[in-house]
Amino acid sequence: MSTEPKQFKGWTIPGPKVNPPEHLREPGPGETLDALSGHFRIFQLRDGHRFSTDDLLAAWYGTSWAPLARTVLDLGSGIGSVGMTAAWRLPQARFVTVEAQSESVRLARKSAEYNELLPRYQIREGDFRSPDVLTSDETFDLVLGSPPYFPLGSGITAEHPQKVACRFELRGTVADYCSTAVRHMEPGGLFACVFPMNPPEQNQRVIEGARAAGLSIIRQRPIALREGEPPLLAVSAMMRSIDLPEKIRAKTWMEPELIIRAKDGTVHSEYQAVKLSFGFPP
């Protein structure tokens, strides 16, 4: 990804412009500075974990179904791609993000300063399951999460430790995300996350984690990476079961699948519209 999005005829970069401090206008050694949302930029390690479509979808889905959220919690926030995309879409909201990896926290703080988010964007370093990181009286209108997908030992781990922690469950599972989210949701609040739905046992982990935490998956959208292929991922929106009538919590509303790329490899028309909605060219 480049620092400046490619310009298209009839399209200009939307959203507030930023005026980063002089010392942040160039990436540090081993880093890149890349387009995120609108004029927002993100610092990433060239050879470490880099933000993905999954992160953007989690932010898009959560902010689409909680467009009036005033307070937002981002669990396992990594380098800040989910939280800062959501912050671009919710310019009046205040954010708390939690991340355990020091290197990711360092990069996220640089990006937050670059994007002039610091007055409303708090980045905490630590394990979100710890009571020292999130106190019991902190509640939020919207909780976001992009959990690691795989149990440790279930695949080949990447060489860079930042990549390992983002892909494998070193500090909790999707069930831990659910149980932490429900403790910090306002009544009527929403938890949105992205997770594999294929193979089916992966989506079952989301269903069981939500149920055990006292959450109901009120809607879910499958994500197909290419037209004609089975959906690999899903974004899910959950609410506290105690806040819902039985009729709603009894069944998840399944949305039509969102296709990222058409059969010829071009960006699918609907995903073009999704990208526009978080300030990125189609």
Q: For residue range 6-40, what is the model confidence (pLDDT) as tens digits? A: 667 778 899 999 999 999 999 999 999 999 999 99
Predicted structure pTM score: 0.92
pLDDT at 4: 58
CB atoms within 10 A of CB 188: 11
Query: What's the mean per-residue pLDDT of the chain?
Result: 92
Q: Residue 149's pLDDT band (boundaries 50, 70, 90)? A: confident
Residue 160, pLDDT > 70, answer no
Structure confidence by residue, pLDDT tens digits, 191-250: 999 999 999 999 999 999 999 999 999 999 999 999 999 999 999 999 999 999 999 998
Whole-Å CA distances, 235 to 196, 249, 270: 9, 17, 16
CATH number for domain 22-277, candidates 3.40.50.1980, 3.40.50.970, 3.10.20.30, 3.40.50.150:
3.40.50.150
Backbone angles phi, psi at 180, to 5 degrees: -75, -40
Q: Is 127 exposed, middle or buried (0-12, 13-18, 19+ CB in 10 A)?
A: middle
Residue 5, pLDDT > 60, answer no
According to DSSP H, which parts of the chain are helical? Answer: 53-65, 81-89, 102-114, 161-167, 174-183, 200-213, 246-249, 269-277
Structure confidence by residue, pLDDT tens digits, 32-54: 999 999 999 999 999 998 999 99
Q: Residue 153's pLDDT band (boundaries 50, 70, 90)? A: low
Tokens of 116: 């002039």
Look up residue 121 and give its DSSP letter: E
Q: CA-to-CA distance for 51 and 143, rounded, in angstroms?
A: 19
Q: Residue 3's pLDDT band (boundaries 50, 70, 90)? A: low
Structure confidence by residue, pLDDT tens digits, 59-88: 999 999 999 999 999 999 999 999 999 999
Structure confidence by residue, pLDDT tens digits, 90-134: 999 999 999 999 999 999 999 999 999 999 999 999 999 999 999
Question: What's the mean pLDDT in 160-179?
Answer: 77
Tokens of 135: 């106190």
Look up residue 236 and give its DSSP letter: E
pLDDT at 9: 73
Tokens of 156: 């080949």
- Least Cα distance to 252 among 187, 203, 212 occurs for 203
Q: Which residues pair with 258 in a beta bridge?
A: 223
Residue 1, pLDDT > 50, answer no
